[in-house]
Structure 1
Amino acid sequence: MTPQPNPQVGAAVKAADRAHVFHSWSAQELIDPLAVAGADGSYFWDYDGNRYLDFTSGLVFTNIGYQHPKVVAAIQEQAASLTTFAPAFAVEARSEAARLIAERTPGDLDKIFFTNGGAEAVENATRMARLHTGRPKVLSAYRSYHGATSTAINLTGDPRRWPSDQGAAGVVHFWAPFLYRSPFYAETEQQECERALQHLEDTIAFEGPATIAAVILETVPGTAGIMTPPPGYLQGVRELCDRHGIVFILDEVMAGFGRTGKWFAADHYDVVPDLMTFAKGVNSGYVPLGGVAISGAIADTFGKRPYPGGLTYSGHPLACAAAVATINVMAEERVVENAAHLGETLIGPALRELAERHPSVGEVRGLGMFWALELVKNKETREPLTPYNAAGEANAPMAAFGAAAKKNGLWPFINMNRTHVVPPCNITEAEAKEGLAALDEALTVADGYTA
């Protein structure tokens, strides 16, 4: 549905926003946020009556789309019976959410610590690893994003870390595999895997294995570029961690809950971490919720020793009721299977066909409903369409591409020189084709900046 345009209300919403809302990651006087009037399924619309197909899933969290009636009803029912309650008590929605999550996590990750979002999940997973091992250091990849709280932002590899980077004690970055822009001069996936593992092994050796509490990796890095790891890499990291008594943390905040065509991305790679963080898709972002899935060994550390961490809203009943409803909807409506099927049979092939026709598309990579197009000036040299972390005029090609997509009714996910294709996991075939056609048109604008 799309309501009748109401530009007067839209102007009032925009005016109040500009007067009082302080937006994240933004120079406040340089932004022009769209006033959103509503959303349903894979679409949202503004007060002028413009409707957009959302190829961003919000911030890659509306895995079941907007306003799913069963999840909305579950939130309403929970609000009518028990809106909130302190985390020290056993509450039905909280217990059931934990049970349903634990049923789906790999291995023995059967204990669930609830947070309000992904960054807090990373904060607490890191704390658990340090306390479990008695060691201070955590290793993370340069091409990564783990959140914006104190430890999480320092673990992050992308430029959003820089303004807040105080060289947090114990954070060490390393290069994870990325064959298209290989830091190891590799020519094949096997070479990239072997050399990346050797680099990590060397980093561990020179940092001192006995000082390292954890290695944290996004199973499939999200905002940093959706680089699927080469076969054997995550198993190799698991072996290195086991060899040195290091906790292996997988960050599934973005990749989890169906995004890759499996309940968790780790299921693609036959690897079980010691800790796994989640958020976003666990309840499609309807009410803030995140958490840490904890292995038996680490849970036992805090069997008789208090865990020194907690949150006022840990396992909030409204958020957990939304998670229960979301997981049940995903199972009943085969949302994970839909993501896998459309990713393999429609999205992936269509994006690769676009890459053949558009000189601006250097590489296509991804799986499920989790894809990235690397946009370049020149396919041979692989020079990015815009420089790393470009802003202002230097970012004009990507800005023009984004404007063209929106003009065609497609809301794109853009980060640096990439556009990500990350629609809701329950998108229909017809909707996906509509979005791909709009993307095709927008890429002709990007083509105009190639050499």
Structure 2
Amino acid sequence: MRAYTLSEEEVKSYGKDYNLYSWSVQGKVDPMVVSKAEGIYIYDAKGAKYYDMSSQLVNANIGHGNKKVIEAIKTQAERLAYIAPSYAIDVRSELARRVVEIAPDNMGSVFFTLGGTDANEGAIRIAKLYTKRSKIFSRYRSYHGSTFGSGNLTGEPRRYPSEPGIPGFIKFFDPYIYRAGIDFKSEEEASKYYVDKFREQVIYEGRESVAAVFLETVTGSNGIIIPPKGYLQGIRNVCDEFGILMVCDEVMAGFGRTGEYFACNNWNVKPDIITFAKGITCGYVPLGGILIDKKITAYFKDNVLNTGLTYSAHPISCAAGCATLDVYKEENLLENSKNMGKILGEILESLKDKHKSVGDVRYIGLFSAIELVKDKETREALVPYGMDPEKIMPRILGMLRQKGFLTYSHENMLIVAPPLIIKEDELRAAMKIMDEVLDEVDKMIE
């Protein structure tokens, strides 16, 4: 087998010349050349070590280089590398059973995809097939994917290239209490306000025309917006009232990120559909999926499931998924997510108290965001929504990277979502770097 021995300079130059990089002006990209990854660490071509404090794209939940998952991939590749989705094979059947068993108990079956984007595409189609309705609701501060359907489902600026879009995609507001401009007396009061507005909008759009509402159970890159008490149940109640399907996008929030296999379990809410990806294989190979309720499963016993993918339930991905589920259980990662999440929350609250540039912190399990502001009193965001003309956020990311802390930003948010295997000493050491960089951000806003 050929071992590629490109120099660091060749890797970077070939990458810039021949690869296209996501969400970037191609002439301005400056990719870090990575040589290896292990545990919670990334190593560059010069051997420098970095904390992976975003789990890459919030998907490397079990960390890098897990031998059990790697061995499962190798074994499956040697035994049966590919077979069409119409065949039944052991890892395909086993993973489907196991995913349904750990899901909320109303779930009846699963359709496997390659990732989150096509999981949401498929969920749109399933919702329309099942309800015979055309309109789909989703929130403004959401990201559901970049293909045409999931791009229209998305609410934030990454949807703009998909517009003018597909008719029937309706946006509504998130329960973003920090920026509501309303002094709610309690989370429950805020939930009632947002749910009532959602219900009113459904009525204006025509109750009988709405197929589904899509929600990131916990809003991901758009700020880790955690639903206030009563919110998800309120949405569930509206859906039940009007025969609308409730779809929870758990692509980021699923598989231990919030301390539960599925984030909706934190609020004891049972969606009709759950979409997932990322944490099912933690990036070792691509896999996503659509969990559907038993009543929808029963419907497709007698009606055509009019969707499909060449690589649906790919054998190697399913083998990796089975091994990944083993790792979650054997290494007690859901419990570690909860325990380390409490420590992370305490650290984040101390950063909020200390730094005048930190307007808010939000966290659940090992899923968190630091919201940066110019002024704590006015809550003016450090950068305007949808733009960063002075490239302030990339500068902050650069300062973090220089000190060995890798993550990403979105709008005025810094995401902190380390692998679920992280230990307390590693977490505290990494967040000390964040503390030091926030000292510099404080100076920037003086």
TM-score (normalizing by structure 2): 0.97
Q: CA contact under 8 A between 2:276 and 2:289: conserved in structure 1?
A: yes
Aligned partner of 1:138: which letter?
A: I
Q: Which residue of 1 aligns with 2:39?
A: 41
The equivalences for 1:414-425 within 5 A come to 414-425=409-420
Q: CA contact under 8 A between 2:115 and 2:287: conserved in structure 1?
A: yes
Q: Which residue of 2 aligns with 1:391?
A: 388
| SS in structure 2 at match of 1:37 | strand
Match of 2:440 among 416, 427, 445: 445
TM-score (normalizing by structure 1): 0.96
Residue 304 of structure 1: how far off its partner (Å): 1.8
Q: Which residue of 1 aligns with 2:229?
A: 231
Residue 366 of structure 1: how far off its partner (Å): 1.2
Q: Which residue of 1 aligns with 2:120?
A: 122
Residue 315, structure 1, aligned to residue 310, structure 2 = no
Match of 1:355 among 352, 362, 379: 352
Aligned partner of 1:430: which letter?
A: D
Q: Which residue of 2 aligns with 1:174?
A: 172
Aligned mates of 1:275, 1:96 — CA distance in 2: 20
The equivalences for 1:201-216 within 5 A come to 201-216=199-214
Q: CA contact under 8 A between 2:337 and 2:420: conserved in structure 1?
A: yes
Q: Which residue of 1 aligns with 2:275?
A: 277
Q: Which residue of 2 aligns with 1:324?
A: 322
Aligned mates of 2:286, 2:165 — CA distance in 1: 29
1:231-287 Cα deviation digits (max 9, x unpaired): 110001001000101011000000000000111100101100000000000111110
Aligned mates of 2:350, 2:5 — CA distance in 1: 39
Distance of aligned partners of 1:142 and 1:291 in 2 relative to their CA distance in 1, 3 Å threshold = same
Aligned partner of 1:188: which letter?
A: S
Match of 2:105 among 107, 120, 126: 107
| SS in structure 1 at match of 2:301 | coil
Aligned mates of 1:371, 1:308 — CA distance in 2: 37
Match of 1:303 among 293, 301, 304: 301
Aligned partner of 1:208: which letter?
A: G
Residue 174 of structure 1: how far off its partner (Å): 0.4
Q: CA contact under 8 A between 2:255 and 2:280: conserved in structure 1?
A: yes
Report sequence identity in percent. Answer: 42
Aligned mates of 2:262, 2:77 — CA distance in 1: 29
Q: CA contact under 8 A between 2:16 and 2:29: conserved in structure 1?
A: no
Residue 185 of structure 1: how far off its partner (Å): 5.8
Distance of aligned partners of 1:112 and 1:105 in 2 relative to their CA distance in 1, 3 Å threshold = same
| SS in structure 1 at match of 2:302 | coil
Bigger drift between 212-221 and 403-412 goes to 403-412
Aligned mates of 1:186, 1:43 — CA distance in 2: 41
Q: CA contact under 8 A between 1:10 and 1:37: conserved in structure 2?
A: no
Q: Which residue of 2 aligns with 1:365?
A: 362
Distance of aligned partners of 1:193 and 1:301 in 2 relative to their CA distance in 1, 3 Å threshold = same
Aligned partner of 2:130: which letter?
A: H
Aligned mates of 1:121, 1:58 — CA distance in 2: 20
Aligned partner of 2:37: which letter?
A: A
| SS in structure 1 at match of 2:239 | helix
Residue 195, structure 1, aligned to residue 193, structure 2 = yes
Residue 110 of structure 1: how far off its partner (Å): 2.5
Distance of aligned partners of 1:231 and 1:418 in 2 relative to their CA distance in 1, 3 Å threshold = same
Q: CA contact under 8 A between 1:355 and 1:363: conserved in structure 2?
A: yes
What residue ranges of structure 2 are gaps of 5+ in the alignment? none
Q: Which residue of 2 aligns with 1:3?
A: none
Q: Which residue of 1 aligns with 2:379?
A: 382
1:194-224 Cα deviation digits (max 9, x unpaired): 1101110100010001000001100001011
Aligned mates of 2:62, 2:344 — CA distance in 1: 17
Distance of aligned partners of 1:50 and 1:305 in 2 relative to their CA distance in 1, 3 Å threshold = same
1:99-139 Cα deviation digits (max 9, x unpaired): 11111111221301000000100011111111111000000
Residue 13, structure 1, aligned to residue 8, structure 2 = no
| SS in structure 2 at match of 1:268 | helix
Tell me which stretches of 4 or more aligned residues in structure 1 moved more than 6 Å. none
Q: CA contact under 8 A between 1:175 and 1:183: conserved in structure 2?
A: no
1:394-441 Cα deviation digits (max 9, x unpaired): x32x22321211111000221111101100011111211111111111
Aligned length: 443
The equivalences for 1:57-206 within 5 A come to 57-182=55-180, 186=184, 188-206=186-204
Match of 2:252 among 230, 254, 267: 254
Aligned partner of 1:203: which letter?
A: Q
Q: Which residue of 2 aligns with 1:267?
A: 265
Aligned mates of 1:163, 1:447 — CA distance in 2: 35
Residue 7 of structure 1: how far off its partner (Å): 11
| SS in structure 2 at match of 1:126 | helix
Bigger drift between 131-140 and 107-116 goes to 107-116
Residue 436, structure 1, aligned to residue 431, structure 2 = yes
1:372-400 Cα deviation digits (max 9, x unpaired): 1111111111011111122331x32x223
Residue 291 of structure 1: how far off its partner (Å): 0.5
| SS in structure 2 at match of 1:380 | coil
| SS in structure 2 at match of 1:58 | helix
Q: CA contact under 8 A between 1:114 and 1:291: conserved in structure 2?
A: yes
Question: What RMSD in Å do the two structures reach over aligned CA positions?
Answer: 1.4
Q: CA contact under 8 A between 1:400 and 1:446: conserved in structure 2?
A: no
Q: CA contact under 8 A between 2:34 and 2:44: conserved in structure 1?
A: yes
Q: CA contact under 8 A between 1:184 and 1:196: conserved in structure 2?
A: no
Aligned partner of 1:353: which letter?
A: S
Aligned mates of 2:311, 2:428 — CA distance in 1: 40
Q: Which residue of 1 aligns with 2:51?
A: 53
